[in-house]
Amino acid sequence: MTKWQAFFDGGDIASVSLGFLLSLTLFVAGFLLVFGPRSEDQRTREFWKSLPLLTAGATVAWVLWVYTLSFGPSAGTIPETDPNPKPMISLQAMMAIEDAKQDESHLYGRGGFIGNSDYLMLQNVMPVTSHAGPLFSVRRPNYHVPHILECSVRWSTFLLILLPVWVSWGRENSPLRVGLLSLAWSTLVYAPVAHAVAGDGWFEQRGTIDFGLGLLLLSLACSAYPGLESVPRKAECGPSVGRLSAGTLMLWLGLSVHVATNAFRADGRASIALFNMLLGSAGGLLTWSFCSSFLWKRALTDSTCAGILAAVAALAPGAGFMTSQSALTLGIAATAISNILTHLWLRDESGTSLRMSITAMGFSAAIGLLGAGVFATSSVAGQRWDGRLITGLIEGESLQLQWQGFAILAITVWSLVVTGILLRMVRVIPQDS
């Protein structure tokens, strides 16, 4: 079922549009400054020259099938409507029908593993004409922005996740291989992961919470890291100090704004999510620098990019579900743990490498998902779609950590296994010159 509206809240549309454009611009610019091309070998030059083509191909795939698989109603969960409904035989039966209509699960579909084909090639997403003018659809009745704007924001998330994955795969594969890999990965890994919570999938129905990019960043780390293992350690020279500082700040601000934009409205939830991202990641960066200096005897300014990405990944899952005091606590604790795990895992890794940043982001995303299950509070998060309060371990919801942990395990295993299979399969395709 698609709900069509003629009027929307102008403030929500302006806020979401600005956040979408600003976050994408800042992230891409920051990523290119920090991790952009610095090698002069032929393969590196060919990969970066092909980046616009990869983006165009991913965008077309997004419109044709990736969006509907990620955010369409869950396949097989919408019951067929009876064209000849039977009359109500009891008040109890009537009340059961009305209760079902309140959460609208019977109309929109929840709990499946993948989306259906309702939005294939943007059907039911684009506006339709009527006697009152154009009508725009919404993905959920309680959303206050047109469906096509939400599709654009989700597309920007798709590109933010794909860019580091492309770079990791581009070290050892030709642009043709990277393009084919990204199409298969988008269908088999990105779509199920995005659908799991943000697309009203099986994790969301069971109680897993993820406000922003938590599960996607975890999947990114698991999918990108295998492509970086073959790169010799300490093989790359880092960017200049100016590029590194400017790029790190852009990544920080871009990701923070993007997470806040996931509220899809200009209200208190978006405001506290943005503030939590900035405050928690600031505390996390200071903690990362302190740990690097005190534990590993490195300069305070070493690996600041990895530190800020780790802090942002830790806050993204619960930024809109917790108080600012909890966000600061989580940012400090998560980045301290991530710093220790990352340095133990990589040992002598360079502080400006993509491998260190991806590894730190993966550890922090997992810790952040658990942290959201601890610090979530109904005073900020409100209610779930079925009326249950969103609460964490501190407020007495002991099962929340179980739901978060199961999601972490499932996404980690699925991303590693499927990406590993795809990387092996693509080796049969000849390298283009």
Task: Output the domain CATH number for residue 66.
Answer: 1.10.3430.10
> Within 171-303, where are the H helices?
175-185, 191-196, 202-206, 214-228, 241-261, 268-296
- Rounded distance between C-alpha atoms, residue 299 and residue 287, angstroms: 13
Residue 123 in domain? no
Residue 338 pLDDT: 96
Residue 81 predicted with pLDDT over 70: no
For residues 227 and 229, what is the distance between their CA atoms, to the nearest angstrom?
6
> SS3 of 52, please?
helix
Is 119 part of any domain? no
Average pLDDT over the chain, rounded to whole?
87
Residue 105 has pLDDT above 60, yes or no: no
Domain tally, the chain: 1
68-96 mean pLDDT = 69
pLDDT for 382: 87
**Does residue 203 belong to any structural domain of this protein?**
yes
Show the tokens assigned to 76: 């097989």
Q: Is the pLDDT of residue 87 over 80?
A: no
Is pLDDT above 90 for 189?
yes
Q: Any idea how long the chain is?
A: 433
pLDDT at 78 (0 to 100): 67
Q: What does pTM read for this prediction?
A: 0.90
Quick one: pLDDT at residue 413? 96
Two structure tokens written together for 269 = 């939830």
* CA 70, 4, 146, 274 torsion-angle sign: negative
Give the residue-averaged pLDDT of 99-112.
63
Tally Cβ neighbours within 10 Å of residue 144. Answer: 17
User: Longest Cα pair distance anywhere in the chain, in angstroms?
Assistant: 77
Q: Which of 360, 341, 264 minimizes the C-alpha distance to 296?
A: 341
Q: Is residue 205 part of a domain?
A: yes
* Residue 90: per-residue pLDDT: 66
Other Cβ atoms closer than 10 A to 294: 10
pLDDT at 433: 46
Residues 191-204: tens digit of each pLDDT: 999 999 999 899 99
Percentage of the chain lying above the pLDDT 90 cut: 60
DSSP sequence for 81-131: PPSSPPPP--HHHHHHHHHHHHHTHHHH--S-SSB-STTGGGTTTS-B--T
Selected residue with higher pLDDT from 431 and 421: 421
Torsion, Cα 225 231 234 236, to 10 degrees, reads -100
103 within domain boundaries: no
pLDDT at residue 378 in the model: 92
- Measure the CA angle with vertex 63, ends 59 and 65; round to 5°: 115
Domain range holding 421? 3-74+144-428
Is residue 234 helix, strand or coil? coil
The tens digit of pLDDT for each residue in 50-62 reads 999 999 999 999 9
Q: Is residue 92 part of a domain?
A: no
Tens-digit pLDDT profile for residues 205-237: 889 999 989 999 999 999 998 877 656 555 455
Cβ neighbours around 151 below 10 Å, total: 19
In a domain, 106, yes or no: no
Phi, psi at 60, each rounded to 5°: -65, -45
Least confident of 125-139, 277-291, 367-381: 125-139
